[in-house]
Structure 1
Amino acid sequence: MSADVTATQSETPTEASADVPEHEPVAAPNIDWGLAASLGRKVARPGPRVTRYTMDQAHAELADASVRAEAPVRELTGLADGLQIPTARILDRAGWIDAAARSMPSMFGDEPAEDEDSGLVHSALGKVGGVQAAGLLAVLSGAILGQYDPFSLDEETGEPGVLMLVAPNIIAVERQLRVVPSDFRLWVCLHEVTHRVQFSANPWLAGYMRENVRILTEDAGESTVDLVGRVSAAVRSGRSREKGMLGVMQLLQAPEQREAFDRVMVLGTLLEGHADHVMDAVGPAQVPTVADIRAAFDARRRRPQNPLQRIVRALIGMDAKLAQYIRGKAFVDAVVAEVGMAAFNTVWTSPETLPKTDEIDEPSAWIARVL
């Protein structure tokens, strides 16, 4: 799952009045990510029952597919050409939890407390946050098929960016959908490799993402612990299923946070829509049963009880994950059909060339403004 989030455009700061004293921002307590990983591994549901031979075969096939997917994705998009093709990390659910717990402090900007007294407070609150985060990691570990993490360092190259594929989840879904395993594995890799290409060719996206997450957790004096806690409580209490889904505006109150969230959603919609466009454009030539896979997978996406969908819906207050794919792909399809892929790639130039919220549904408005 893709990674999915963005960063903020620079804005002119408001000058503080000389009559109003300035206050140092209150540091947000850290989440104890070590505790989150440890507890998350314990409470995560086990994957499907498979033989060692089947799992080894899946690992080998996914590693090969992640490399084979790179060339057609680069050829179609015109991105990341000439860059090294890194090796994907094939993980089980516990391995994904560990990887996510190592990456998230960087994304959230969690820093250790500087003095002993505040360190004690941060430690206590961090453990509370760690317990809450553990539940989210455990649920997500059973739902994510693949993810590109732009914040972690690749063990081979030392460069930022790691492509992770969660083998037991991929096996579980291909069994559920009754699709050809080798075709489905390559199809998943086409989508996730597109995310790797997006970030590899445009390194500024990772910083943009991190800055928006910082605003979501800090600008209103909110800590990562508070945000994770409220999302966890919304999911557990069932409030997210009352009158539709609990909207993000009920979770995020400050104007700065709402604006950052809008930017997050726009970038996420673009990234997912672009990946789906590439996957469908490349798929027929690479995946023999792509039509069957797409039909079965789209039907699965619309099922309301998927745990990952519940969490995402609790965050955004609508079926936005599905909407991201549909609206984002429609935007990319329309722009590429009108101006071609090379001109479309102008979208990756800077935050200013990203589509605005209303332009996602009006591709011609983005073309007029940017091109």
Structure 2
Amino acid sequence: MDHRLIHWELAAKTAATLGTPGPKLSPAEASAVVADLRRHADAAVGHVHEITRLEAARDLRDSGVLIVDRASWARANVHSFEAIIDRPLREAAAKHSERLSATSAAVTARATGAEMGAILSFLSSKVLGQFDPFAPLKRPHLPEAGRLLLVAPNIVEVERELNVEPADFRLWVCLHEQTHRVQFAAAPWLRDYLLGSIAELVEGMLGKADSLGERLTRLFTEKTPLTELIRDEKDREVMSRLTAVMSLLEGHANVVMDGVDSSIVPTVKTIRQRFARRGADRGALENWLRRILGLDAKMRQYADGQKFVSAVVQQIGMEGFNRVWERPEHLPTEHELHHPQEWVDRMRA
């Protein structure tokens, strides 16, 4: 029996079919945007080094930078999801094969693949950039450290929508994404930590299901929030760890973005103001989609993590905060994320 529970090829095909290309650019304009984004991505590394004071950010050359369109971003994320969860899904399915017939497995795989493709199609028009540390796990020819993806049509679309200076906005975006690249370079154990936690969560979540296929289908096709599928206390602890680390990564990247001034990004104040107001202009359909996909929760993660990092840096400086990258034991718990003094006290002890 094939224990694959997500039809990955169908996910990629669906995302490409449903996706839209974005703003129209002539070949010359598109080439200029690509070259400009590469230049800003390279320049951002030095600024991240100056703000974070992480040695890993000094002239970072450990991973690739790709300027992609929406379809390529979606396809890259299908590959990454496959690298992250295909093995634990197959293992869970094999362990509980008596609950899942070959027919139901095939139906589940196609249903979840199509839904994943639809979700990625929507997200592909929203994401500006992403550092993907998991790509080499399914693509051995890629740099071991991962790759940075910058979604050119979305960056152009947002800078036009906000009516901001393109050069400044592109550098501002690159600062956030390059910070994620630096985080994984500073903490080379971080990728395996995330993979292990995700595998543990998948096994716990699916292994305890009354119906493995039904539970996975609910997750993707009914947009059932992940938290509703987590009932065991141990699984909640794993989810808490993941929430804390993702909040930390996003919050830290936001602190770096806020660390730049007009000497680096001349119109940074205007960009911040207009980007912050952008959410108020979303339509009802997009707000609904963001809610069921958990994007609003992700924005709260940004805020929670940013408050934690800012509070710690204010008290013990950036060098003191940087202990967080030394080993997994130094990561804040979800409780500490909301009580930064307790993390500071633990590091001092």
Instruction: Identify whether the pair has TM-score above 0.5, normalized to the shorter chain.
Output: yes
Task: Tell me which moved more, 75-84 or 197-206.
Answer: 75-84
The corresponding residue for 2:193 is 208
- The SS at the match of 1:160 is coil
The corresponding residue for 2:31 is 56
Q: Does the 8 Å CA contact 1:151/1:206 hold for their aligned counterparts?
A: yes
Query: Quick check: 1:134 aligned with 2:117?
Result: yes
CA 1:307/1:74 → structure 2, altered by over 3 Å: closer, same or farther? farther
Query: Quick check: 1:148 aligned with 2:131?
Result: yes
What TM-score results when the alignment is normalised by the length of structure 2?
Answer: 0.85
The corresponding residue for 2:314 is 337
Q: Does the 8 Å CA contact 2:63/2:143 hold for their aligned counterparts?
A: no
CA 1:104/1:157 → structure 2, altered by over 3 Å: closer, same or farther? closer
Give the alignment of 1:72-151 within 5 angstroms.
72-79=47-54, 80=56, 81=58, 83-84=60-61, 86-110=63-87, 122-151=105-134
Q: How far did 1:101 drift?
A: 1.2
Q: Does the 8 Å CA contact 2:112/2:221 hold for their aligned counterparts?
A: no
Aligned match for 1:173, one of 122, 134, 158: 158
Q: Does the 8 Å CA contact 1:70/1:85 hold for their aligned counterparts?
A: no
Q: Does the 8 Å CA contact 1:148/1:195 hold for their aligned counterparts?
A: yes
Aligned match for 1:294, one of 255, 272, 287: 272
Aligned length: 334
- The one-letter amino acid of 2:17's match is K
Q: Does the 8 Å CA contact 1:140/1:307 hold for their aligned counterparts?
A: no
- Once residues 336 and 355 of structure 1 are traced to their aligned partners in structure 2, the CA distance between those partners, rounded to angstroms, is 14
- The one-letter amino acid of 1:163's match is L
Q: Choose between structure 1 and 2: higher helix proportion.
A: 2
Q: Does the 8 Å CA contact 1:36/1:131 hold for their aligned counterparts?
A: yes
- Once residues 155 and 314 of structure 2 are traced to their aligned partners in structure 1, the CA distance between those partners, rounded to angstroms, is 32
Query: Quick check: 1:188 aligned with 2:173?
Result: yes
The corresponding residue for 2:331 is 354
Q: Does the 8 Å CA contact 1:147/1:192 hold for their aligned counterparts?
A: yes
Query: Quick check: 1:66 aligned with 2:29?
Result: no
Q: How far did 1:157 drift?
A: 6.2
Give the alignment of 1:150-299 within 5 angstroms.
150-153=133-136, 158-221=143-206, 229-235=217-223, 248-299=226-277
CA 1:278/1:198 → structure 2, altered by over 3 Å: closer, same or farther? same
RMSD: 3.1
Q: Does the 8 Å CA contact 1:215/1:256 hold for their aligned counterparts?
A: no
- The one-letter amino acid of 2:16's match is R
Q: Does the 8 Å CA contact 1:140/1:308 hold for their aligned counterparts?
A: no
- Kindly provide the CA deviation profile for residues 295-327 of structure 1, in whole angstroms up to 9, marking residues without a partner as x: 1111224556598875564365x9422222222
- Kindly provide the CA deviation profile for residues 262-284 of structure 1, in whole angstroms up to 9, marking residues without a partner as x: 11111111111100111111343
CA 1:166/1:209 → structure 2, altered by over 3 Å: closer, same or farther? same
Segments of 5+ residues of structure 1 without an aligned counterpart are 1-25, 236-245
Q: Does the 8 Å CA contact 1:62/1:90 hold for their aligned counterparts?
A: yes
- Once residues 232 and 290 of structure 2 are traced to their aligned partners in structure 1, the CA distance between those partners, rounded to angstroms, is 20
- Once residues 213 and 161 of structure 2 are traced to their aligned partners in structure 1, the CA distance between those partners, rounded to angstroms, is 35
Query: Quick check: 1:46 aligned with 2:21?
Result: yes
- Once residues 256 and 192 of structure 2 are traced to their aligned partners in structure 1, the CA distance between those partners, rounded to angstroms, is 24
- The one-letter amino acid of 2:337's match is I
- Kindly provide the CA deviation profile for residues 23-64 of structure 1, in whole angstroms up to 9, marking residues without a partner as x: xxx996431111110111001133122222222211111111
- Once residues 285 and 149 of structure 2 are traced to their aligned partners in structure 1, the CA distance between those partners, rounded to angstroms, is 20
Q: Does the 8 Å CA contact 1:31/1:225 hold for their aligned counterparts?
A: no
- Once residues 369 and 228 of structure 1 are traced to their aligned partners in structure 2, the CA distance between those partners, rounded to angstroms, is 39
CA 1:346/1:231 → structure 2, altered by over 3 Å: closer, same or farther? same
Q: Does the 8 Å CA contact 1:187/1:283 hold for their aligned counterparts?
A: no
Segments of 5+ residues of structure 2 without an aligned counterpart are none
- Once residues 370 and 72 of structure 1 are traced to their aligned partners in structure 2, the CA distance between those partners, rounded to angstroms, is 27
Q: Percent identity?
A: 37
- Once residues 288 and 130 of structure 2 are traced to their aligned partners in structure 1, the CA distance between those partners, rounded to angstroms, is 18
- Once residues 242 and 154 of structure 2 are traced to their aligned partners in structure 1, the CA distance between those partners, rounded to angstroms, is 26
- Once residues 298 and 225 of structure 1 are traced to their aligned partners in structure 2, the CA distance between those partners, rounded to angstroms, is 40
- Once residues 335 and 282 of structure 2 are traced to their aligned partners in structure 1, the CA distance between those partners, rounded to angstroms, is 26
Task: Tell me which moved more, 133-142 or 28-37.
Answer: 28-37
Q: Does the 8 Å CA contact 2:45/2:60 hold for their aligned counterparts?
A: no
